[in-house]
Amino acid sequence: MTYRRISTVRLAITGTGAAALAATAVLLPGADAATAAPASVAVQAKSAAAVVAQLGDRAAGSYYDAQSRQLVVNITDPSAAQQVRGAGAVPRVVRYSAAQLHAAAVTLAKQARIVGTAWALDPRQDKVVVTADPTVTGAKRTRLAAVVNSLGDKAVLRHTASPFKPLAAGGDAIWGSGVRCSLGFNVSVGGAPYFLTAGHCGNASSTWSDSQGGGEIGQTVDSQFPGTDYALVQYDDPGADHPSAVDLYDGSAQQITRAADAYVGEQVQRSGSTTGVYGGSVTGLDATVNYQEGTVSGLIDTNVCAEPGDSGGALFDGDAAIGMTSGGSGDCTSGGETFFQPVTAALAAEGAGIP
């Protein structure tokens, strides 16, 4: 059997299940696709991350300032400024260290794990940004506000207009038993072909096809959701066409040669089978989302839109695989917020690599 190329996966749960967004993206006329950051920025970001690690409690994360086109490293100790400059970044003195912000996030996890809430570390504000969707009302809203207030200016609370829900994302559509998702990235494990998609997709089906009602092309061998949100699917035919590419929905594809960690301020693109290709930027890291189905942590927070059926789809920056669509709120008409499972974490957990 000959399989067509699959670059990403989308999911739409049928029946009375929770709605999911497919992260497949199409490049629509007039759509705002993000421009990939220059390779030099990625190198600088890695260097900045290394300095942050070396500085420990004297640092509070880093981010890319698109206006000045410079990597900024937050520091709590002014004497670390020279070390930051030596790494090619700009030092910025802030009040709270990364450890203090992580401690604030731990407090939220212990005292405010409420369905419909999310939080992420934003080094640009030197705060934990907490978000509540419209389902957080009454006593829950009061409780959340009290916990955020107890953190002082280490945290800020905002509200979103639509509920958080798992999203199906990626490139080409894949079909399971009663679900439709998007394929994230083709990968290899021990030389054999597999692909990654969202864990809430993998939980929904043990087998997958590249067309509705079509023949099986692969089987879910591992699925992690909630907690994290990724699934590993093994192709039935080791000789199947499984290029390392993402569908751009304009007749072309973006080749993927590596996996990389996201950084705040990074310009990224998402491909999904429902909406095609849309762009935006990374707004926060180490994000936690409290879905109705459970809590997922360690996510990438972005202002990229997605819609039902986009779950599992690819988040990428040029030739670098960054993440797979997990969930979010909003849509691609009014805009939205979308969370992504980091690819590097999924690859490490599964012993997989980009082909």
* The two three-digit tokens of residue 186, written as one number: 């083709």
The CA–CA distances, whole Å, from 159 to 56, 156, 191 equal: 32, 10, 46
Any idea where the domains of the chain sit in the sequence?
1-39+119-355
Residue 111 has pLDDT above 90, yes or no: yes
pLDDT at site 61: 94
CA dihedral 113, 114, 115, 117 (to 10 degrees): -80
Structure tokens at 113: 């794990």
Window from 137-146, 243-252, 336-345 with minimum mean pLDDT: 243-252
Q: Which comes out higher in pLDDT, residue 21 or 92?
A: 92
Query: Per-residue pLDDT for 175 more than 50?
Result: yes
* Strands 165-166 and 155-159, sheet pairing: unpaired
| Active site (catalytic) residues | 200, 229, 311
149/165: higher pLDDT: 149
Q: What is the pLDDT of residue 171?
A: 41
- pLDDT surpassing 70 at residue 7: no
Average pLDDT over residues 235-243: 86
pLDDT at 47: 87
The mean pLDDT value for 29-47 works out to 58
pLDDT greater than 60 at residue 44: yes
Closest CA to 119 of 71, 72, 160, 150: 160
Q: What is the pLDDT of residue 77?
A: 96
The whole-number average pLDDT for the span 320-330 is 96
Domain 1-39+119-355 bears CATH identifier 2.40.10.10 = yes
Q: Which residues pair with 195 in a beta bridge?
A: 186, 233
Residue 12 pLDDT level (bands cut at 50, 70, 90):
very low
Strands 173-175 and 314-317: unpaired
Q: How far apart are CA 224 and CA 200, in angstroms?
A: 8
- Three-class DSSP category at 45: helix
Predicted model pTM? 0.86
Query: In which band, very low, low, confident or very high, does the pLDDT at 167 lie, cut at 50, 70 and 90?
Result: low
Question: Quick check: bond before 91 cis, omega within 30?
Answer: no
Specify the pLDDT at position 168: 37
Q: Quote the pLDDT of residue 169.
A: 28
